[in-house]
């Protein structure tokens, strides 16, 4: 066992003290705290800051909104710009507005994302309030059910099966109390807890804290009471859980995109700096210009556009029975190329019916039903559909007195709740002068612990090769989709279940259950198949039962693996099996999470849909964890997405919306990066060839900002059907290729514009070539030149957005959404008019004559024609555009 991580000092101190001493230490009374005392204790002893997951807190969301790869790039550039403002002015104009504008964009984009994150959080909280974690607390002499967020250190609370332990507790009572600590320690077996004082060694392991219930543990069986020692982030779970959350697909993709832009920047910036410094001889001016090139290559509004896309998709999903708790999960929906689901409740109706209770030869057996009833009645583990199906026999007419008498005659003595290693539950009841152990569980697991069988009141030894006999008796039923449990018993004198109790059992018979497939499941699976999302079944159920359900839903299940087979595979074999197998049965919760981890390591974006506590490790291991309606509270807290209807059809809508969001983000990233790249190449070349800089830093920044503001409408753009027909990865690997293909086209037309302005228009308006003019005339020459290039660049950048948003013929084969058209037209009009206003003069630009606009129409028309032809070549060569 690994050494214990840092624990709150109270835990080690209180573990070795009796609970009576604790009452004195915390000044507790048998009546518990009053409300006023609890409030004071929260102030003096702390309340752990945040009960819910730290990444759900407002400070964490605020941090995420501003601290992402794109925003950090912009922040670095803004800081550098502010530092350069402290240096003396040089021949190259730089302005204090540059850094200010960048910081303004950074602030605005972060606030938009933060606002949308809060909207998503409020929507999720409205749902979670219905599912809020509550706990029984002794307050003012009464056991009251309150929110775990209102607990105070020293509170006395009561635990029941199915509860999530809300705080680190020193147990004062424990009756057959079994906790699952797998979230903390990775142990798959539940741990039995005690209320006895236990002196601890100097460096105790978690296993030695036998009287401490750690926050985040799940109560698998029994009951208990305890005193709260630590809350929230003061608990062991609270300190660790930030590291439990996986690195989301969105974060990996965003980092990759930022990396591509940074690599381009790292190459261009020093080249431009040295080229300009060597040709102009003014290294200070060269530095400022190189800084502007870096700024120009960075899409300043990228964080804001991405936030708007994600927020819009999240809002749409909120109207479609889906709560997206983190807007980044919208991107995971779009990229998801494998969906893993638990069988029960997802593919089936989640209401098991008890069809048969039979002896070892298949005859009806009231004894089997009686023993199964007592086992289910006294089993205090997490309630399951099998126990509920057994207990529904009480609803049969004229039978209530029988079950009441059975319960009266058999008092409960002890139990070991169900767990996914043993695959069975054991209950010890009083039967006359002896104790009777009743065992119910997986047929094979129970059968392996039996030494004989009972038939018509007589006991017989098991036949030769008993497992083959079991298979012969049960395979036919399970092949028809019937779930079988075995029931066994054993008489003993001890009033407790010991380590040897579950051995040498007597087999009584079997229970047969049936769970019909959902009528909507087949259509939903077909829809996901059309979306090119393969569905993998990950279930703890028996292989034969799983295969039967799959056959009814036309899911290929011939190549299926069990948990036992999975455990025997090497790492390389497991990677292949995860890819090539669609059905995994008889899995432990840990094996479900392992399969998801392997799929992610294979490069997939993986979703997981589950509803039980055994699905919690898988939900945390997936890129997007999805909890269905009615799922365990702990699971809904951990999930990224909550479905208000337990239906795979809802997922189809989420996938489609996520893909549309992702396509619109990809449009902006690719088109803006390639357009900026072409413009920067042209600016850098002109800076080396021309006797002046072709654009001031503030003009270059303004050009990008004006274009990016137009792009804010992209989240509302329409998307071609073929673009969301398949899962789409982040465009990081293809971004460089896209920039390298379309960027030089923009570079070529920028050079043509430079030539026209330098050799024809500006000399005609200023009275001669640049070197023949006076200083005042040269200033006018530069102002005309910069205004001309500003307009040509703005027109081509805005219109290229429409050309490259689709591989079809723009405006004909694929029409942009009306808001996009309106904003584009308004933007071109406003930004063209800008050069005729005092603001344009302030920015160093001069109004241009009609002859220039005739040239502008010609060059832009030719540019659009060339890009259209190039787009056809690109699609023909690479098979896709966006």
> Locate tokens 């259509």: which residue?
523
> H/E element holding 156?
strand 156-160
CA distance 294 to 296: 5
Just list the catalytic residues. 342
CA distance 75 to 714: 24
CB 515 within 8 A of CB 350: yes
- DSSP-derived secondary structure letter, 622: S
- DSSP-derived secondary structure letter, 347: T
CB 798 within 8 A of CB 705: no
In Å, what is the CA distance from 445 to each residue of 449, 470, 744?
Answer: 7, 11, 68
**3-class secondary-structure state, position 120:** helix
> Locate tokens 């490790």: which residue?
617
550 φψ region: left (φ > 0), alpha (ψ -120 to 50), beta (else)? alpha
- Closest to 635 measured CA to CA, from 613, 650, 668, 658: 613
CA distance 293 to 288: 9
Tokens linked to 455: 């038939």
CB 54 within 8 A of CB 60: yes
- DSSP-derived secondary structure letter, 362: S
Backbone angles phi, psi at 506, to 5 degrees: -110, 120
* Contacts of residue 548, Cβ cutoff 8 Å, sequence gap at least 6: 478, 479, 480, 481, 482
- Closest to 724 measured CA to CA, from 809, 660, 669: 660
- DSSP-derived secondary structure letter, 164: B
Rg (CA), the chain: 35
CB 301 within 8 A of CB 104: no
Tokens linked to 664: 């619109």
**3-class secondary-structure state, position 639:** coil
CA distance 699 to 679: 13
- Closest to 174 measured CA to CA, from 363, 425, 355, 415: 415
CA distance 832 to 844: 15
CA distance 211 to 197: 7
CB 204 within 8 A of CB 198: no
Half-sphere exposure of 372 (CA within 13 A, CB side): 32
Residue 290 class from Cβ within 10 Å (0-12 exposed, 13-18 middle, 19+ buried)? buried
CA distance 682 to 676: 10
- DSSP-derived secondary structure letter, 462: P
CA distance 129 to 525: 32
CA distance 479 to 483: 9
Backbone angles phi, psi at 3, to 5 degrees: -65, 150
């Amino acid at each position: 066992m690994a050494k214990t991580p840092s624990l709150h000092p109270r835990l080690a101190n209180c573990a070795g003290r009796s609970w009576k001493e604790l009452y004195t230490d915390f000044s507790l009374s048998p009546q518990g705290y009053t409300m006023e005392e609890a409030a004071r204790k929260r102030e003096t002893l702390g309340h752990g800051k945040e009960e819910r997951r730290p990444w759900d807190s407002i400070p964490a969301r605020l941090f995420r909104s501003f601290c992402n790869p794109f925003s950090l790039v912009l922040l670095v550039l803004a800081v550098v710009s502010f530092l350069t403002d402290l240096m003396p002015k040089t021949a190259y104009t730089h302005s204090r507005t540059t850094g200010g504008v960048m910081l303004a964009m950074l602030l605005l984009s972060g606030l938009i994302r933060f606002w949308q994150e809060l909207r998503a959080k409020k929507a999720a909280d409205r749902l979670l309030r219905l599912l809020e974690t509550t706990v029984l607390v002794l307050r003012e002499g009464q056991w009251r059910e309150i929110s775990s967020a209102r607990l105070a250190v020293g509170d006395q609370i009561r635990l029941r099966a199915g509860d999530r332990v809300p705080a680190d507790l020193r147990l004062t009572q424990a009756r057959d109390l079994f906790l699952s600590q797998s979230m903390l320690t990775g142990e798959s077996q539940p741990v039995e807890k005690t209320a006895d004082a236990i002196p601890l060694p100097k460096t105790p392991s978690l296993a030695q804290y036998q009287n401490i219930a750690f926050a985040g543990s799940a109560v698998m069986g029994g009951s208990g009471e305890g005193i709260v020692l630590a809350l929230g982030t003061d608990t062991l779970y609270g300190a660790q859980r930030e590291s439990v959350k996986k690195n989301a697909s969105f974060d990996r993709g965003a980092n990759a995109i930022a990396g591509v832009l940074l690599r381009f920047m790292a190459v261009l910036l020093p080249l431009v700096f040295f080229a300009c410094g060597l040709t102009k001889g003014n290294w200070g001016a060269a530095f400022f210009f190189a800084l502007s090139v870096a700024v120009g290559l960075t899409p300043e509004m990228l964080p804001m556009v991405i936030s708007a896309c994600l927020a819009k998709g999240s809002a749409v999903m909120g109207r479609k029975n889906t709560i997206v708790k983190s807007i980044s999960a919208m991107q995971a929906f779009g990229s998801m190329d494998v969906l893993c689901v638990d069988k029960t409740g997802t593919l089936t109706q989640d209401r098991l019916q008890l069809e048969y209770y039979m002896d070892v030869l298949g005859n009806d057996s009231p004894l089997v039903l009686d023993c199964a009833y007592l086992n289910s009645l006294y089993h205090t583990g997490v309630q399951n559909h099998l126990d509920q199906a057994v207990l529904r026999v009480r609803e049969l007419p004229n039978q209530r007195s029988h079950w009441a008498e059975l319960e009266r005659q058999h008092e409960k003595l002890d139990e070991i709740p169900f767990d996914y290693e043993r695959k069975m539950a054991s209950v010890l009841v009083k039967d006359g002068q002896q104790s009777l152990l009743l065992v119910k569980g997986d047929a094979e697991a129970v059968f392996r612990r039996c030494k004989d069988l009972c038939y018509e009141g007589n006991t017989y030894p098991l036949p030769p090769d008993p497992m083959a006999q079991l298979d012969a008796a049960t395979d036919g039923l399970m092949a028809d989709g019937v779930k079988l449990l075995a029931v066994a018993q054993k008489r003993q004198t001890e009033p407790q279940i010991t380590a040897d109790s579950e051995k040498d059992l007597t087999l009584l018979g079997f229970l047969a259950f049936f769970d019909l497939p959902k009528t909507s499941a087949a259509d939903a699976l077909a829809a996901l198949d059309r979306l090119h999302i393969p569905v993998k079944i990950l279930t703890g159920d028996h292989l034969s039962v799983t295969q039967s359900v799959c056959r009814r839903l036309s899911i290929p299940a011939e190549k299926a693996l069990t948990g036992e087979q999975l455990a025997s595979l090497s790492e390389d074999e497991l990677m292949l099996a995860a890819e090539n197998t669609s059905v995994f049965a008889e899995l432990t919760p840990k094996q479900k999470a392992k399969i998801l981890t392997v799929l992610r390591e294979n490069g997939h974006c993986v979703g997981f849909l589950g509803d039980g506590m055994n699905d919690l490790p898988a939900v945390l291991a997936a890129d997007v964890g999805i909890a269905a309606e009615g799922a365990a509270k702990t699971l809904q807290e951990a999930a990224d997405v909550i479905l208000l209807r337990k239906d795979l059809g809802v997922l189809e809508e989420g996938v489609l919306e996520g893909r549309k969001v992702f396509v619109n983000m990809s449009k902006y990233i690719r088109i803006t990066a390639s357009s900026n790249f072409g413009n920067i190449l042209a600016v850098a070349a002109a800076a080396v060839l021309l006797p002046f800089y072709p654009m001031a830093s503030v003009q270059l920044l303004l050009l990008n900002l004006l274009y990016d503001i137009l792009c804010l409408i992209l989240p509302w753009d329409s998307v071609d059907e073929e673009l969301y027909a398949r899962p789409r990865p982040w465009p990081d690997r293809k971004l460089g290729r896209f920039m390298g293909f379309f960027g030089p086209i923009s570079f070529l037309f920028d050079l043509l514009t430079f030539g026209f302005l330098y050799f024809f228009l500006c000399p005609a308006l200023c009275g001669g070539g640049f070197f023949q003019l006076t200083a005042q005339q040269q200033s006018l020459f530069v102002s005309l030149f910069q205004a001309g290039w500003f307009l040509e660049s703005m027109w081509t950048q805005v219109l290229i957005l429409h050309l490259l948003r689709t591989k079809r013929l723009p405006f004909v084969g694929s029409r942009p959404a009306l808001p996009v058209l309106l904003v584009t037209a308004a933007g071109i009009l406003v930004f063209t008019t800008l050069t005729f206003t005092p603001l344009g003069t302030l920015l160093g630009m001069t109004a241009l004559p009609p002859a220039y606009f005739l040239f502008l129409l010609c060059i832009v028309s030719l540019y659009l024609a060339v890009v259209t032809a190039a787009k056809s070549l690109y699609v023909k060569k690479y098979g896709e555009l966006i």
